[in-house]
Structure 1
């Protein structure tokens, strides 16, 4: 997530320089051929270009709206996870009967296992899918130098070890869906505490209901992660935009040639400008459609998880709290 007021041009232009180079190429060639050879058939009337441009603008606008909705839904889900986590903290602290220091350790175990769940969920959501772009597109790989993705630089085992016992950590790492199994372990311990009389029946039901809510939020994250923006819409947007970029110089040649043969060279800068706008719209939509892939516009799950950990460890009375995660080059992960 970008935390500044806007992307600076020195960040934005290098991210899109390949689009500028592409437009320079596709506009310079037909313009030079027209000027040198005088082939009038290269000049396309502006009406069909405008019709394609209208269709491309409509499809690009639709795609960007829908990809933004995916991003915003992901942010709402993680907002709900923050709220549920805080509720889990006060329930653990207030609903579980503890009389000795050893029994009070149960509260720490439940809260620390919740931190492990957050970590496991983050690592699962940061896994790469075949339709994601952050590692496959050259312009995204170049931009990775501006920030870091913690889940790509560390191993899940190293992150889980401070939160779980050695035996539980080893058992969880053998599971396919670690986040799911960690909530299942929470439920199993709550059942045991209820049977021992440490949690009364009413509070037990409320805490189980909250675990169900966490499962619901996890499932929503997995739905966005595992179901891409429909490929048929992504494809038609790509085709329409690139068709328009190929037609733009031909249409501008037609218009500027009316002013005189020398004016046809103006088709190059105007084609680059207009084509760049449409290509960037397509690229921005592409970079927004997968809000968990590790891109600069991702949901800042790592930062949110750290905020939850600080709040819940504060509830435990701990004083050696971790520092909040700060943005790197205005990118917060």
Structure 2
């Protein structure tokens, strides 16, 4: 997530420079043929270009709206995880009571630390690369990775989980496919044991189980966004319409500027190049921005900062446990926080 006031041009222009090069080629070639080879038939009326531009603008606006909704929903889900996590910390501290205060504190820590493990496993799962994601496949995104790092790609899950789980639990969790799901299952199993031992009342047991149910719900919502891409048919027609428009734009501008040759001279047609580049760049960048917003967990610079959120939750819950040695908050790098 970019936390600056806006992307600087020295970041944004290089990120989109391939679009500029593309429009430069598409506009220079027909202009050269028109000017030097006298291929007057390349000039076409503006009406079909305008009609195609209207369709391209509509589908681009639709795509960007829907991809933004995916991103905003992902942020709302993690907002709910923050709230549920804080509630869980308070309920564990106040609902699980034992005569032996040392044992009570140990149980509190075990459950809370296991929740840290769940947060860790979930973010590692969400950062796994899917075939339809763009952050590692598109050249402009790969280049932009030099401005930030994705912690889940640099670290290893087992090395982080070892700080929160016992050896037996760690071995079991790493042997499963959906690690986050099994960690919550371990939480529920321990609650049942405490309830059967009479260390949690039936009401408190139900309240705590409801917290884990809510976390399961939020995990499922994250997995729905992660595992279901923006529909490929809409993504495809947006790409096709935009490219068709960019191909026709220079021809339409040639048609318009050729009408001014008698008044301004035949060199007026060279204005086709800058106007085509500018207008084509707008449409191509709209398509690229929509593409970069499709998958809010993939590791893109515009992603939901799940690493930072998870660390903030960890700090809050450690303070609820009464711990004084807290991990540092995740700081942005080049105004990008993951």
Alignment of 1:287 with 2:288, yes or no, is no
Alignment of 1:180 with 2:181, yes or no, is yes
Of 276, 283, 291, the match for 2:281: 276
Alignment of 1:267 with 2:249, yes or no, is no
Aligned to 1:157: 158
- For the residue of structure 2 that corresponds to 1:329, the secondary structure is coil
Cα deviation, residue 257, structure 1: 1.3
Of 288, 295, 319, the match for 2:324: 319
- For the residue of structure 1 that corresponds to 2:109, the secondary structure is helix
Identify unmatched segments of 5+ residues in structure 1: none
Write the distance in 2 (CA, Å) between the matches of 1:296 and 1:57.
Answer: 25
Aligned to 1:97: 97
Write the distance in 2 (CA, Å) between the matches of 1:279 and 1:254.
Answer: 22
Superposition map of 1:6-21 within 5 A: 6-21=6-21
Normalising to structure 2: TM-score of the pair? 0.98
Normalising to structure 1: TM-score of the pair? 0.99
Write the distance in 1 (CA, Å) between the matches of 2:324 and 2:98.
Answer: 21
CA RMSD of aligned residues (A): 0.6
Aligned to 2:312: 307
Query: How many pairs does the alignment contain?
Result: 333
Aligned to 2:116: 115
Aligned to 1:214: 215
**Structure 1 residues 263-291: Cα deviation after superposition (integer angstroms, max 9, x where no partner):** 11110000000000000000000000100
Instruction: Tell which deviates more after alignment, 159-168 or 11-20.
Output: 159-168
Cα deviation, residue 39, structure 1: 1.4
Cα deviation, residue 259, structure 1: 1.6
Cα deviation, residue 54, structure 1: 0.4
Aligned to 1:144: 145
Q: Is the 8 A contact 2:96 2:104 kept in 1?
A: no
Superposition map of 1:31-46 within 5 A: 31-46=31-46
Write the distance in 1 (CA, Å) between the matches of 2:104 and 2:173.
Answer: 24
Write the distance in 2 (CA, Å) between the matches of 1:163 and 1:99.
Answer: 25
Write the distance in 2 (CA, Å) between the matches of 1:272 and 1:166.
Answer: 60
Aligned to 2:334: 329
Aligned to 1:84: 84
- Deviating above 6 A after TM superposition, structure 1's stretches of 4 or more consecutive aligned residues are none
**Structure 1 residues 133-185: Cα deviation after superposition (integer angstroms, max 9, x where no partner):** 00000000000000000000000001101111112111110110000000000
Aligned to 2:172: 171
Write the distance in 1 (CA, Å) between the matches of 2:330 and 2:253.
Answer: 50
Superposition map of 1:44-63 within 5 A: 44-63=44-63
**Structure 1 residues 21-65: Cα deviation after superposition (integer angstroms, max 9, x where no partner):** 000001100000000111111001000000000000000000000
Aligned to 2:233: 232
- For the residue of structure 2 that corresponds to 1:238, the secondary structure is helix
**Structure 1 residues 224-271: Cα deviation after superposition (integer angstroms, max 9, x where no partner):** 000000000000000000000000000001111112121111100000
Identify unmatched segments of 5+ residues in structure 2: none
Cα deviation, residue 99, structure 1: 2.5
**Structure 1 residues 62-121: Cα deviation after superposition (integer angstroms, max 9, x where no partner):** 000000000000000000000000000001000001222123200000000000000000
